Amino acid sequence: MNPILKKLGLTGEHQGAGTGEWMECSGEILESVSPVDGKVIGKIRCAKKGDYGQVVACAEHAFKTWRMMPAPKRGEIVRQIGDALRKHKQDLGALVSLEVGKIRAEGQGEVQEMIDIADFAVGQSRMLCGLTMHSERPEHRMYEQWHPLGPVGVITAFNFPVAVWAWNAMIAMIAGDTVVWKPSSKAPLSAIATMNIVWDVLKKNALPEGILNVVIGDRKEVGEAFIRDRRIPLISATGSVRMGRHIAEVVGARLGKTILELGGNNAVIVTANADMNMAVRAIVFGAVGTAGQRCTTTRRIIVQETVKEKLLQGLVKAYQQIPIGNPLEDNILMGPLIDRQVVDTMQKALAEIKAQGGKILFGGEVLSGGVFDAGTYVKPCICEVGPYLPIIREETFAPVLYIISYKTLDDAIKYHNDVPQGLSSAIFTSDIREAETFLSHRGSDCGIANVNIGTSGAEIGGAFGGEKDTGGGREAGSDAWKAYMRRQTCTINWSKELPLAQGIRFNVS
């Protein structure tokens, strides 16, 4: 990995704050530890509150210039950023795999998502449209327009260490906003490498520092100052429900805006009319991808009781064949969990499943020996449970799959919706009535509902996000740009009269 780290500008000790150039920070040393082998791959000098203040001041200053650049011109800068990411796709993808444990294909895929959202944003830069409305007053014109919002804050989680930043940053940029990024402390090197790539584009275009910014630091030292800062009108945050509730409360208290992408507890309904081979492939990909550490991971299977055994046989057979190991090696389909703490959380959840009456049908063991000595590798797990076990209402961020049987489709939808989260959902069926019922007002209560497609793998062309404890925010999609702008209604009187509301006459002699 050393040549790759060098090409990405990751040599020596790194600074945890920058605005286009790296600042000298004064905080504690943060070590980036790879879950692949438990070794330290980089050290970062964290930002302190004062360092954070300088970053936001620079973002605020740059906003005054950036907002006045025509949106299509901003789109051209984003296009160049996408091209720069293309050139570094292999190296940056490998770094993502090393730092968070994704298999190589997923690491590459995450960088491709950055490229895709850049392409998408370029098109959006020419589509920031307002409406023209008919005024009730004669010889008046009324219309709405959208203005840049200001410096936007983006808080990302370890499981998508760079893509989620891009989903927000590329759209925010074409909207005319500057961006301040607080990445996960479990994936700081991926953020630093990304900044090195995109800053080079900004410099080549002679743009001021402060358009794209990063600050790495302690939650209490930097995070709290970040979400309380009135100079940041919008905070977009991805993470746990607990974190999201706190951010919503703090930002809401200052009447700021939030985009929250929080917990997922995603289910697939498998009916008696399903293509079983297709369902098995989708479930395995959704449950085991990223070692069960996606917000869209498939966590619950709600299967019609007459086909439960057939589905189980297919799933167990597939699980037995999943190659687990170093995610950078070829043919590996599942890498490690992010750290040993998550492994412990998974083991406690499995014990709780048994205590509540569930059965572990396959897997769940912590692996050891050789490459597994890092203590972060596990076998993905399949459990059979009842529909109302308390544990299945929680999101265990690990490869634990629950199997629940049902009699009628109404029962299945009831079980499906009976969790606090509402992100992604799917049904496998060849019956159009079952499919349309699932998509109807009395069907899935999630922000994403799929038919004969699994719960993970959302496209950037569709709005991404969910309901209930998932937070209600949306990223990407046709009108996502509106969240990063402020709406303004304008009325122009081109007559020689001044008609007043409610027909009031107000004459001044």
Give the catalytic positions in this structure.
261, 295
- Residues 355 and 401: their CA atoms lie apart, in Å, by 17
- Residue with the two structure tokens 């050789």: 370
- Residue 122's φ and ψ, nearest 5 degrees, are -60, -45
| Gyration radius (Cα) of the chain, Å | 25
- Residues 166 and 159: their CA atoms lie apart, in Å, by 14
In three state form, how does the secondary structure of 33-54 look? ECCCCCCEEEEEECCCHHHHHH
Cα 494 to the chain's mean position, in Å?
A: 47
Contacts of 373 (CB under 8 A, 6+ apart): 37, 38
Instruction: Give CA separation, 240 vs 260, 293, 415, in Å.
Output: 10, 12, 23
Q: Is 139 helix (H, G, I), strand (E, B) or coil?
A: coil
Looking at residue 28, what DSSP letter applies?
-
- Sheet with 298-304, side-by-side order of all strands: 359-362, 381-384, 400-406, 298-304, 266-270, 424-428, 448-451
Tokens of 315: 């799933």
